[in-house]
C-alpha cells in the first residue's frame, strides 16, 4: 500500500501548539478558575451543587483541585432543558445544537459568537493535524442540522481556508458524483457511512483507490484499527480519527495527527481531561482505561464542569504534539457494554472479528434478545457481494468460533445477503436491543 505523502510542518502550528508544558498548565489553571467562577455566578444548577458540597470558586487553587468540583451528567442537562445551563443571557447565544439521544428529551447546547470562532479555530487545528492545508477542497458528509458534525467541521474548514463542499449525509450516489467532479483532497464523514460510500462508488463502476481523496477525518462513532486498515487499503488514503461531543463543543475535542496515527491529541488548552473508574468515580491509575471526563476551559455560553462522557479510553503522553496528552482510540461506551451471560462485549470487539474474516462485508449489527430471562446476542453479518449462499453456514460458524475464542461468549450468527444490514448515513446503529427487561 502506498499512501499519499504527508508533511508535518511545525511552521503551521498555532501558538498554543508551541507552548511549553509549564505555560500550558498555567493557562489551564487560569482558564479553569474563570470557568468555575462563571458557572458559580451564572448557572443556578452549578451554584446549588457548589453550595451542597460546601465549596466556593476560591477553593480551586491548583489543577488537582478539579476533583472538588461536581460531575455533570447528561441527566443534568436534560433537567435544565432547554436553556438553563447557559451562563450568558440567551440573547448572546448565536447558535444552538441538540442531540436527540435514544431516550427522553434532547440535550441542548449553546454558543456565543466568540465560542463559534474558538470552535472554528480548534477544528482548523484538527484539520491541519490530519494533514489538511489551506486551499484544499474539503467534502463534508457529516449531517448538517442540530447535529454538531456538519456545521462544526464546515466552519473549521472555512477558518483554515479550505474550499468547503457542504454535502451533508445521504444521497450517496450524488456524493460520489461530487467527489468525482470536484476532486476534494479531504473528506469528513462517519467511518460507517464512508464504507457505504465506497460500496456505492464500486457499484457505479468507479475504483475508490483512484479518487482525489488523500485524507479522511473519521469520527462521531467508535471504529477500530482493523477498520482503519480496511479503509486505507480500499481507498488508498490516510484515515485519521476525530473525537468530540456536543456537550463540550462538537467535533474537534481531540484529533489524531496524520504522521503518527497513534491516538488522538486532546486539545488541552480548551478541554481538561480526566479518566475515572465509572463504578467508583475515582481517578484511575495513570494510563489505565476508564471513563473520560472533560471540563471546558474556554466556553462562554455553556461552560461545563467534569462532564461524564461515558466514553472508555486511556490517557497517553503526547507524541506529535508533545505537550498535549493523547487519548487512545475509544473502545466503547459504558452504555454500549453488552453483558452476555456474564461476559463483557463491546461492538468494537465484534468489528475487529468481522473485518478479519474474508467473505464478509464490514457491516454488522448486534441484536440483543432475552428469551427465558437470559440475554442472547445475535450477530448479523453480511456476505460479500457475489458470494454463494451455500457458503453462509460456514461463514457463520467462523464468526461464532472467533467470538467464542477471542471474547469468550456464545453468540448466534446470521449471515445475510448483500445489503442485508441497514446502512446509516451518519452514526451506525451497532446495537439493536430487543430485550424485554421487565421479565
Ligand atoms: O458525534 C460530534 C462529532 C461529530 C465528533 C463529527 C466527531 C465527528 P455527539 O452527537 O454529541 O457529537 O456524540 C458524541 O459520539 O461521546 C462518543 O461516544 C461518540 N464519538 C464521537 N467521536 C468519536 C470517535 C459528535 N472519534 C459521542 N470515536 C461521544 C469514538 C466517538 N466515538
Q: Which residue puts its alpha carbon closest to atom 12 of ligand 1? A: 245
Taking residues 72-91, what's their average pLDDT? 97
Buried b (16+ CB within 10 A) or exposed e, 95-131: bbbbbeeeeeebbbbbbbeebbebbbbbbbbbbbbbb
- Whether the bond into 82 is cis, omega within 30 of 0: yes
* Helix or strand (DSSP H, E) at 108: strand 107-111
Q: What is the mean pLDDT of the chain?
A: 95
Helices (H), 43-132: 44-53, 74-79, 113-129
Q: Which among 138, 140, 244 is the best mutation to test ligand 1's pocket, defined by most ligand atoms within 8 Å of the CB? A: 244
- 197 CA from centroid of ligand 1 (Å): 20
**Residue 341: its pLDDT value, please?**
83
Cβ within 8 Å of residue 428, ≥6 positions away = 190, 192, 193, 221
- 333 CA from centroid of ligand 1 (Å): 11
- 150 CA from centroid of ligand 1 (Å): 12
- 262 CA from centroid of ligand 1 (Å): 18
- 228 CA from centroid of ligand 1 (Å): 17
* Helix or strand (DSSP H, E) at 203: helix 191-203
Taking residues 346-351, what's their average pLDDT? 96
pTM attached to this predicted model: 0.96
Q: Which among 219, 253, 336, 429 is the best mutation to test ligand 1's pocket, defined by most ligand atoms within 8 Å of the CB? A: 219
What residues flank ligand 1, with Cβ below 6 Å? 99, 142, 147-149, 219-222, 241-246, 250-251, 309, 311, 330, 333
User: In whole angstroms, what separates CA 419 from the centre of its chain?
Assistant: 25
Query: How does pLDDT run across 190-247, given as a tens digit for each residue?
Result: 999 999 999 999 999 999 999 999 999 999 999 999 999 999 999 999 999 999 999 9
Please state the atom number of ligand 1 nearest to the C-alpha of residue 253.
5
**Residue 439: its pLDDT value, please?**
47
Q: Which residue puts its alpha carbon closest to atom 15 of ligand 1? A: 220
- 378 CA from centroid of ligand 1 (Å): 26
Q: Which residue puts its alpha carbon closest to atom 18 of ligand 1? A: 311
Q: Which residue puts its alpha carbon closest to atom 21 of ligand 1? A: 220
Percentage, residues of the chain above pLDDT 70: 98
Amino acid at each position: 500500500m502506498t499512501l499519499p505523502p504527508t508533511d508535518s510542518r511545525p511552521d503551521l502550528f498555532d501558538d498554543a501548539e508551541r507552548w511549553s508544558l509549564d505555560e500550558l498548565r498555567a493557562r489551564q489553571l487560569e482558564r479553569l478558575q474563570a470557568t468555575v467562577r462563571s458557572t458559580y455566578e451564572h448557572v443556578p444548577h452549578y451554584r446549588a451543587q457548589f453550595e451542597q458540597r460546601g465549596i466556593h470558586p476560591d477553593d480551586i487553587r491548583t489543577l488537582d483541585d478539579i476533583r472538588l468540583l461536581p460531575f455533570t451528567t447528561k441527566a443534568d442537562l436534560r433537567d435544565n432543558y432547554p436553556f438553563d445551563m447557559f451562563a450568558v443571557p440567551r440573547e448572546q447565544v448565536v447558535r444552538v445544537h441538540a442531540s436527540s439521544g435514544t431516550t427522553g428529551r434532547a440535550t441542548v447546547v449553546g454558543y456565543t459568537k466568540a465560542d463559534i470562532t474558538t470552535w472554528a479555530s480548534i477544528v482548523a487545528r484538527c484539520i491541519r493535524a490530519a494533514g489538511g492545508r489551506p486551499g484544499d477542497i474539503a467534502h463534508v458528509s457529516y449531517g448538517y442540522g442540530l447535529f454538531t458534525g456538519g456545521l462544526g467541521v464546515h466552519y473549521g474548514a472555512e477558518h483554515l481556508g479550505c474550499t468547503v463542499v457542504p454535502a451533508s449525509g445521504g444521497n450517496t450516489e450524488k456524493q460520489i458524483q461530487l467527489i468525482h467532479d470536484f476532486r476534494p483532497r479531504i473528506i469528513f464523514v462517519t467511518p460507517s457511512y464512508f464504507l457505504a460510500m465506497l460500496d456505492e462508488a464500486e457499484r457505479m463502476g468507479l475504483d475508490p483507490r483512484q479518487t482525489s481523496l488523500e485524507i479522511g477525518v473519521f469520527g462521531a462513532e467508535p471504529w477500530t484499527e482493523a477498520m482503519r486498515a480496511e479503509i486505507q487499503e480500499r481507498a488508498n488514503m490516510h484515515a485519521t480519527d476525530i473525537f468530540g461531543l456536543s456537550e463540550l463543543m462538537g467535533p474537534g475535542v481531540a484529533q489524531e495527527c496524520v504522521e503518527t496515527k497513534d491516538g488522538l491529541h486532546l486539545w488541552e488548552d480548551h478541554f481538561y481531561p480526566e479518566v475515572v473508574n465509572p463504578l467508583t468515580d475515582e481517578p484511575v491509575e495513570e494510563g489505565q482505561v476508564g471513563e473520560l471526563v472533560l471540563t471546558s476551559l474556554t466556553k462562554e455560553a455553556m461552560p461545563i464542569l467534569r462532564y461524564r462522557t461515558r466514553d472508555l479510553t486511556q490517557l497517553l503522553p503526547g507524541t506529535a504534539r508533545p505537550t498535549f496528552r493523547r487519548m487512545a482510540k475509544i473502545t466503547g461506551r459504558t452504555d454500549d457494554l453488552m453483558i452476555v451471560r456474564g461476559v463483557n462485549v463491546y461492538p468494537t470487539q465484534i468489528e475487529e472479528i468481522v473485518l478479519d474474516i474474508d467473505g464478509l462485508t464490514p457491516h454488522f449489527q448486534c441484536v440483543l434478545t432475552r428469551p427465558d430471562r437470559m440475554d442472547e446476542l445475535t450477530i448479523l453479518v453480511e456476505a460479500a457481494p457475489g458470494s454463494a449462499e451455500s457458503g453462509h453456514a460456514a461463514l457463520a460458524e467462523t464468526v461464532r468460533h472467533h467470538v467464542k475464542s477471542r471474547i469468550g461468549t456464545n453468540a448466534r450468527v446470521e449471515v445475510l445477503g448483500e445489503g442485508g444490514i441497514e446502512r446509516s448515513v451518519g452514526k451506525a446503529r451497532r446495537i439493536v436491543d430487543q430485550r424485554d427487561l421487565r421479565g
